[in-house]
Amino acid sequence: MNNLPSVNKWSVRNILETIENNILNEAFPEMEQPDGFGKSYNFPSDVSNLNFLQLGSLQLKLRGWLSWGIKQQAKKETELNTAQTMYDIQLWSRVAEYQISAGGRKGLTKEMISAKIITEDEHLEKFTKTLAVMRGVVARLEAQNKIYSEQIQTLSREQSRREAEVRLI
């Protein structure tokens, strides 16, 4: 427990900076964005038409982008989890205040109270929308990483098929 990094001020930014510094202090090299595709690329509909160099080059580029995508996904998931924790603390604190001030009136669920608090508090409403965007970004990164992975597998199967063909000759 003593190895945990300390956070001086409780804010999402400070917590994320502490996490980032902890990673860098552990001597993990920081990966830079790979070159190779630009804004978009065309994955061939028939990979058997690629020559050996094209097949290998495309595999290497996709593996580089998959690694980059995994890094970006991890970073965005960390940001989301940190923000969600701070949000939960704020919201549940307000829910508890509301329940105490309501004198234990029955009939309102925590979800109903949360919805009321969020719609009446501009900060929490904005925070809620921000979390929704963050979840969307994480989902999009996860989907893109699956696409890279599937394409790498397709290229790998083609490479294996060719190697098996050569062995038969």
Q: Domain coordinates of the chain in residue numbers?
A: 50-168
Q: Could you give the angle at the alpha carbon of 98 between the alpha carbons of 94 and 104, nearest 5°?
A: 140
The token pair that represents 64 in the structure block: 């580089």
Q: Is 100 or 94 the better-scoring residue by pLDDT?
A: 94
Instruction: Report the Cα 65 to chain-centroid distance in Å.
Output: 14
Give the pLDDT score at 1.
38
Average pLDDT, the chain: 87
Give the pLDDT score at 114.
92
Task: Give the list of residues 6+ apart from residue 167 with CB closer than 8 angstroms, or none.
Answer: none
The residue whose two tokens read 């904005």 is 126
Given a contact cutoff of 8 angstroms between Cβ atoms, the answer to whether 118 and 90 are in contact is no
Least confident range from 27-31, 46-50, 62-66: namely 27-31
Give the pLDDT score at 123.
92
Q: Is pLDDT of 24 > 80?
A: no
**Which pLDDT band, with edges at 50, 70 and 90, does 27 fall under?**
low
Region 24-39: mean pLDDT is 76
Greatest distance between any 2 Cα atoms in the chain? 84
